[in-house]
Amino acid sequence: MMPAPPSKPQPSGYGLKALFDELADQGVSQRAVLRAAKLRSLTGTLSQAQRLAILRAAKDHSTHRLTALKAGQRQRVHHFGVYGFALATSPTFYDAFMFGRQHLELAGAVLQISFHTNSRVGILRSENPATLGSLLPFAAEFWRSSMTTLLSEILGKPFPSVLMRFPFPAPAYAIDYRSQFNCPIEFDSPTMEWHFDANILREPCASASSVTATICQEFCETMIEKAGGSSPLQRDLRAFILGNTGRRTTAEDAAGAVGPCQAHAFPPLEKRGHQLSSIA
């Protein structure tokens, strides 16, 4: 049974509790990690730079090579705050997926993620992974392991990954990747991608509740706006542009990508001073 939303809600816990719990089992305290990351607490909204600092500190303090993968296996919906409940109570997995994609920063993502489908295969592509440098393997392991666990809990069954690509050499424990993700793994790939069976988008969520989902989603949107974050439309456009950097992108292309229900927002967006080229 899913726990109730917290009485003092936060937009997201970014899944960090699972990482701190794994480190605690290794004798590493949360306080030590936060001190190394130059943070006093985890209250409020964390910037990308702060989340990266926590991941670096966790990597430096960990004593086991499988720390990131094992931490991801510990994830639960409530580790992601109201964001997690918004996903879990969505009517269908498509609804959860679309809301989740618009608010990936609340899932703890530290890279921009683009999405497209190809012959009923959904493809999530991490953009510019090389910017993470030596932190990339640890961050990739933690995030993909976390998302696999979270999405499986939302569905009430294993998430149907069909292929994962990583742009770094296979580690000595590569066999653990295959057992964790239950799909073929490609290392030294020119791209960082996650392929899954897109038919899953049609299925209902195990704990669907439209009323709860709406309340949680509105709360997340309000908190993001208060923190100065971008709108769902801007996030969709940014993901589209990043996924099409190899060709000229027009406003008409972007409008088609975000769908007719949001295409009418282009004129207001321009009036607010957001040029298409500046959104990415």
Residue 25, pLDDT score: 97
Rounded to two decimals, the pTM is 0.77
Residues 6+ apart with CB under 8 A from 196: 121, 122, 124, 159, 160, 161, 162
CB of 84 closer than 8 Å to CB of 12: yes
Rounded Cα gap, residues 280 and 276, in angstroms? 8
pLDDT in tens, 152-180: 999 999 999 999 999 999 999 999 999 99
- Sole residue written with tokens 């770094």: 168
Structure confidence by residue, pLDDT tens digits, 83-126: 888 899 999 999 999 998 888 888 888 999 999 999 899 999 99
CB distance 127 to 242 below 8 Å: yes
Q: Which residues of 2-11 are buried (b: 16+ CB within 10 A; e: fewer)?
A: beebeeebbb
Statement: residue 249 has pLDDT above 50: no
Stronger pLDDT, 222 or 193, i.e. the higher one: 193
Rounded percentage of the chain residues whose pLDDT exceeds 70: 76
- How confident is the prediction for the chain on average, in pLDDT? 82
Q: Which token pair is 176?
A: 């653990």
- Give the Cα separation of 108 and 87 in Å (integer): 14
Give me the residues paired with residue 116 across strands: 123
Phi, psi of 270 (to 5 degrees): -65, -35
Largest CA distance in the chain: 55
Residue range 177-190: average pLDDT? 96
Between residues 83 and 55, which one has the greater pLDDT? 55
Tell me the per-residue pLDDT of 201-227, one tens digit each, with 9 for 90 and over.
999 999 988 888 888 888 888 777 776
Q: Is the pLDDT of residue 242 over 50?
A: no
